[in-house]
């Protein structure tokens, strides 16, 4: 029967580009390489302008149907003082009210959810639909999240006041300063939301992790074999990555960026981009700009209007705030650097830049998607984590994996001075000490290559799960 050959599954992402991008890539991958039909449910609120922009830039195969969940009026529910995750979770909870009726109609063989859409587990239980989770961040965050309910019951005060690092069983220790922001103040509503979703991860039938074995072997082994994770009934973790965007549609503006790169020498450009929502304070942006100018290296700098209040200032407007960088970059910066650099307001075709042979290194906020995109292309990184779990990722990349260098050694100053920026940039672009980092990045690129192709490890794991949907 045709229906059995092409099982139909639904996807439900959390708002934000760091979520919708990888879930959509997985959906496309299932359609294009595993004969699965997908209904991709879109939460049309919050980050929706940026999400629409992203979806419009994608080629969508006919077996992938994008369905917008009808938007609800949130004016009385969302308040200005809500922290990022609270806002995101409240919006999501509200948006999921029609989920049951949508799923009754679609009758998918399975639902693939995201970390902040676990309310769907209850709906699916009523409808007898198996639920899988696609974890869009690193396995160390997955392990920490699965351990969080235990930690929550054992620790009285704040985790940041613990005398030593958090020891997730079998995993590399996490220094409390590197913990994700949402667990640094347990009195916040954000913490309660994070704990709520984290404590539900183990209720799913399986977890898809966007990674591959060679990147985080210790943590992946712990998730599989450590008695703690067995005791809490951790579902099977399928390492099905690294899935990244790979067929970006280039706008005219994007094409100009690539044409500029075409005119630069091979392996000579530093790409600076702090994610879809990251912003710097005015002071910090000034220091970054001058440090860059002082380093005398070629660069592409993606900039947003600075925000002094929060480092996630553009989360809900990502890529959507075209503006004039000369209004907030230091006076004379653009003129002084025009021989060497390109300043791009707000958004760049990141994967196309990382893939380009002129790109030598990536100064990144270490979001998980950016990390994978860099590693797949063998590009070493300078780590500049800003918010969420980015400090955990930066520690992993600089201390465990060795594919990134720190911009500054801890403790981080409030504002990183221009000399420090200059030194790190020069070291990464021309220093001897970075040879090992570059080598490791190339090695990982090799190990990631072909893993998603027929016969590759990630490919075979996906086949195993897809087979269960066919019966």
Does 14 help bind ligand UDP (rule: CB under 6 A)? no
Does 275 help bind ligand UDP (rule: CB under 6 A)? yes
Q: Give yes or no for a contact between 134 and 208, defined as CB atoms under 8 angstroms apart.
A: yes
Does 17 help bind ligand UDP (rule: CB under 6 A)? yes
Interface pick for ligand UDP out of 368, 381, 384, 421 (rule CB under 6 A): 368
* Residue 405 Cα distances to 251, 366, 384, 441, angstroms: 32, 11, 9, 12
Provide, rounded to whole angstroms, the least separation between the CB of residue 244 and ligand UDP: 7
Does 46 help bind ligand UDP (rule: CB under 6 A)? no
Query: Which residues share a beta bridge with 405?
Result: 382
Residue 134 CA to chain centroid, in angstroms?
12
| Candidates 100-108, 122-130, 174-182, 343-351; binding stretch for ligand UDP (CB under 6 A) | 343-351
C-alpha radius of gyration, the chain, whole number: 22
In the sheet that holds 110-113, the strands lie side by side as 64-69, 37-43, 8-12, 110-113, 131-135, 206-209, 237-239
Fill in the per-residue mask, 226 to 255: x = in contact with ligand UDP (CB under 6 A), - = not in contact: -------------------x----------
Does 373 help bind ligand UDP (rule: CB under 6 A)? yes
Q: Give yes or no for a contact between 421 and 287, defined as CB atoms under 8 angstroms apart.
A: yes
| Candidates 16-24, 118-126, 282-290, 420-428; binding stretch for ligand UDP (CB under 6 A) | 16-24
Size of the site for ligand UDP (CB under 6 A): 18
Interface pick for ligand UDP out of 284, 358, 369, 374 (rule CB under 6 A): 369
The residue from 13, 19, 197, 356 that is catalytic is 19
Does the annotation count 114 as an active-site position? yes
Provide, rounded to whole angstroms, the least separation between the CB of residue 305 and ligand UDP: 14
| Candidates 96-104, 368-376, 377-385, 442-450; binding stretch for ligand UDP (CB under 6 A) | 368-376
| Candidates 104-112, 139-147, 272-280, 450-458; binding stretch for ligand UDP (CB under 6 A) | 272-280
| Candidates 119-127, 335-343, 362-370, 460-468; binding stretch for ligand UDP (CB under 6 A) | 362-370
The two tokens of residue 90 are 């409240």
Q: Which helix (H) or strand (E) holds 97?
A: none
Q: Which is nearer to ligand UDP, 58 or 189 (CB)?
A: 58
Mention every residue, 6+ apart, whose C-beta is less than 8 A from residue 366.
381, 383, 384, 385, 390, 391, 393, 394, 397, 404
Q: Which is nearer to ligand UDP, 351 or 451 (CB)?
A: 351
Does the annotation count 13 as an active-site position? no
The residue from 8, 34, 73, 114 that is catalytic is 114
3-state secondary structure 255-280: HHHHHHHHCCCCCCEEEEECCCCCCC
Mention every residue, 6+ apart, whose C-beta is less than 8 A from residue 335.
none
- Strand duo 206-209 + 237-239: pairing: parallel
- Strand duo 381-383 + 404-406: pairing: parallel
Provide, rounded to whole angstroms, the least separation between the CB of residue 232 and ligand UDP: 27
Q: Give yes or no for a contact between 28 and 139, defined as CB atoms under 8 angstroms apart.
A: no
CA torsion sign for 462, 463, 465, 466 is positive
Does 348 help bind ligand UDP (rule: CB under 6 A)? yes
Does 347 help bind ligand UDP (rule: CB under 6 A)? yes
Does 273 help bind ligand UDP (rule: CB under 6 A)? yes
Residue nearest to ligand UDP (CB): 18
The one-character DSSP state at 403 is: S
Interface pick for ligand UDP out of 7, 108, 367, 385 (rule CB under 6 A): 367
Interface pick for ligand UDP out of 139, 170, 242, 277 (rule CB under 6 A): 277
Does 385 help bind ligand UDP (rule: CB under 6 A)? no
Provide, rounded to whole angstroms, the least separation between the CB of residue 303 and ligand UDP: 10
Provide, rounded to whole angstroms, the least separation between the CB of residue 203 and ligand UDP: 25
Does 351 help bind ligand UDP (rule: CB under 6 A)? yes
Q: In degrees to the nearest 10, what's the CA dihedral of 92, 93, 97, 101?
A: 70
Cis ω before 288 (30° cut-off from 0): no
- Strand duo 298-303 + 269-273: pairing: parallel
Q: Which is nearer to ligand UDP, 17 or 434 (CB)?
A: 17
| Contact positions vs ligand UDP (CB under 6 A) | 17-18, 21, 245, 273, 275-277, 302, 347-348, 350-351, 367-370, 373
- As annotated, the active-site residues are 19, 114
């Amino acid at each position: 029967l045709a229906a059995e050959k092409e099982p139909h599954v639904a996807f439900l992402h959390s708002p934000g580009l760091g979520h919708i991008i990888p879930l959509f890539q997985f959906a496309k991958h299932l359609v294009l390489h595993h004969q699965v039909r997908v209904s991709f449910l879109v939460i049309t609120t919050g980050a929706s302008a940026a999400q629409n922009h992203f979806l419009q830039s994608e080629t969508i195969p006919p077996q992938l149907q994008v369905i917008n969940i009808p938007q609800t009026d949130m004016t009385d529910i969302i308040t200005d003082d809500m922290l990022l995750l609270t806002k995101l979770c409240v919006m999501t909870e509200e948006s999921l009210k029609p989920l049951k009726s949508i799923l009754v109609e679609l009758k998918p063989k399975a639902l693939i959810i995201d970390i902040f859409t676990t309310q769907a587990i209850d709906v699916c239980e009523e409808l007898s639909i198996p639920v899988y989770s696609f974890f869009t961040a690193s396995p160390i965050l997955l392990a920490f999240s699965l351990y969080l309910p235990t930690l929550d019951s054992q620790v009285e005060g704040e985790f940041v006041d613990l005398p030593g690092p958090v020891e997730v069983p079998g995993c590399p220790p996490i220094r409390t300063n590197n913990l994700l922001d949402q667990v640094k103040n347990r009195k916040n509503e954000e913490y309660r939301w994070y704990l709520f979703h984290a404590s539900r991860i183990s209720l799913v039938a399986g977890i898809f992790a966007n990674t591959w074995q060679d990147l985080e072997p210790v943590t992946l082994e712990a998730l599989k074999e450590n008695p703690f994770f067995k005791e809490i009934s951790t579902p099977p973790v399928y390492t099905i990555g690294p899935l990244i965007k790979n067929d970006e549609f280039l706008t005219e503006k994007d094409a100009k960026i690539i044409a500029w790169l075409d005119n630069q020498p091979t392996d000579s450009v530093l790409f600076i981009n702090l994610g879809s929502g990251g912003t710097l304070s005015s002071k910090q942006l000034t220091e970054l700009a001058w440090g860059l100018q002082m380093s005398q290296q070629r660069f592409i700098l993606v900039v947003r209007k600075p925000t002094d209040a929060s480092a996630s200032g553009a989360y809900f407007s990502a890529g959507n705030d075209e503006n004039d960088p000369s209004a907030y970059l230091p006076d004379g910066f653009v003129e002084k650097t025009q021989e060497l650099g390109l300043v791009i307001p707000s958004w760049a075709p990141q994967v196309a830049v990382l893939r380009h042979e002129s790109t030598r290194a990536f100064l990144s906020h270490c979001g998980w998607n950016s990390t994978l995109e860099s590693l797949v292309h063998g590009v070493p990184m300078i780590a500049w984590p800003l918010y969420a779990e980015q400090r955990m990722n930066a520690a992993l990349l600089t201390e465990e994996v060795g594919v990134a260098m720190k911009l500054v050694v801890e403790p981080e100053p409030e504002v990183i001075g221009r000399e420090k920026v200059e030194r790190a940039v020069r070291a990464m672009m021309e220093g001897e000490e970075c040879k090992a980092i570059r080598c490791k990045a190339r090695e990982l690129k090799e190990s990631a290559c072909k893993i998603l192709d027929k016969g590759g490890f990630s490919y075979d794991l996906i086949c195993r799960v897809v087979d269960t949907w066919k019966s």
